[in-house]
Amino acid sequence: MRKKCRNIITYFAVLLPIFLAACGNSSSTSGEEASSYPEKDINGIIIWGEGGATDNISRTLAPLVEKELDGSLVMQNKEGASGAIATQYVYDQPADGYNLLFGAENPNLYQVLDISDRDYMNDFTPISIFGQNFGGLVVHKDSEFETIEDVVDFAKENPGELNMGYSGEGSLPHVAGAMLQAELDTEFNYVPYDGDGPLATALLGKEVDATVLSVSAAQEYVDSGDFRMLSVINDEAIETAEDVPPITDSYPEFEKYFPWGPFQGVFVHKDTPESIVQKLTDAFETAQEDEEFQQTLEDLGVVPLNINGEEAKEYVDKNRSTSAWMLYDAGAAERSPEEFDIPRVDED
């Protein structure tokens, strides 16, 4: 018996240094991952098609991040299913920091809309939230509608006849349309497109009568005179569209929804090593300080945020709560936010 005990003690005595060494090597390996990263091209997956706000901002920022990382960032558009195809694709890739998801607010609503099981809060880690945007109700320059009241009155008097373009379930125009329906009893014929870019093209070609675009995506068309912006989906005017009245000027009942708006950011799989998350975070944070990039955001009407870590998580979580309950209260959600433990903002 004593011999058996001695053998057991000897066995663990031999294994203990090996185990401790392995733990030490794990920490070292984590540091080595960051120091050698990136060793190959990084894929930047954009959830929308070309030409929209998320695409424009992401592609403007990418070369600045490349300089900080001393590596290549290969940007790709992978549109479809309101961004769920790109989101699932990045989630399915190895959690090694070589696949970044450049997205907007849509994945926050996949669960309540029954589009996908994926969402930012449970499946991804935010590297950075670049900025917050605002929506604007826009029409073609030749449109008969001169004010937001014209649009609302027509939609109420002619249910389902006004073609409202939108970029998929959970998109800005979808949520804004739900707000109009809930508060003003409007009824639109929704026509889907894969992102702000194709949606703007559709309005340019008069395929739709109106839509809600992010101000950043609509700005160039408004500046060129091709579109007219009738209202900003906000409770106050914004600097880049200061002559456009906020929706609350016409309909004060919308005040309860604000502050709210779309955002752009970059995310990685939740299981990505912390050392790589930190290296990416530092690179994106520094890159966004570039004066030309800041000017790009300003020109697009985007409020710069450049937040990361816990602050970014809290921001995304609040946006999810606001949007999910907004849709649910408007009767536009398939499932209750309560099913996914999403509290109302005032219950946080």
> How do residues 54-103 score in pLDDT, each as one tens digit?
898 999 999 999 999 999 999 999 988 889 999 999 999 999 999 999 99
Strand partners, 264: 131
One-letter-per-residue 3-state SS of the chain: CHHHHHHHHHHHHHHHHHHHHHHHHHHHHHHHHHHHCCCCCEEEEECCCCCCHHHHHHHHHHHHHHHHHCCCEEEEECCCHHHHHHHHHHHHCCCCCCEEEEECCHHHHCCCCCCCCCCHHHHEEEEEEEEECCEEEEEECCCCCCCHHHHHHHHHHCCCCCEEEECCCCCHHHHHHHHHHHHHCCCCEEEECCCHHHHHHHHHCCCCCEEEEEHHHHHHHHHHCCEEEEEEECCCCCHHHCCCCEHHHHCHHHHHHCCCCCEEEEEEECCCCHHHHHHHHHHHHHHCCCHHHHHHHHHHCCEEEEECHHHHHHHHHHHHHHHHHHHHHCCCCCCCHHHHCCCCHHHC
> Which pTM was predicted?
0.78
What pLDDT score does 31 carry? 59
Q: Give the sign of the dihedral formed by CA 310, CA 343, CA 322, CA 95.
A: positive
CA 8 to chain centre: 56
Residue 311 confidence class, pLDDT cut points 50, 70, 90: very high
Enter the tokens of residue 285.
Answer: 């944070």
User: Other C-beta atoms within 10 Å of 71: how many?
Assistant: 16
> How do residues 131-141 score in pLDDT, each as one tens digit?
998 899 999 99
Highest mean pLDDT among 87-91, 180-184, 185-189: 87-91
> How do residues 270-303 score in pLDDT, each as one tens digit?
999 999 999 999 999 999 999 999 998 887 778 8
Domains of the chain: residue spans and CATH: 37-133+262-347 (3.40.190.150), 135-257 (3.40.190.10)
Who contacts 20 (Cβ-Cβ below 8 Å, separation ≥6)? none
Enter the tokens of residue 338.
Answer: 């309560």
Amino acid making up residue 152: V
As a whole number of angstroms, the distance between CA 232 and CA 242 comes to: 9
pLDDT at residue 214 above 80? yes
* Closest alpha carbon to 316 in 254, 258, 265, 256: 265
CA 66 to chain centre: 21
CA 185 to chain centre: 28
Provide the residue count of the chain.
348
What pLDDT score does 346 carry? 64
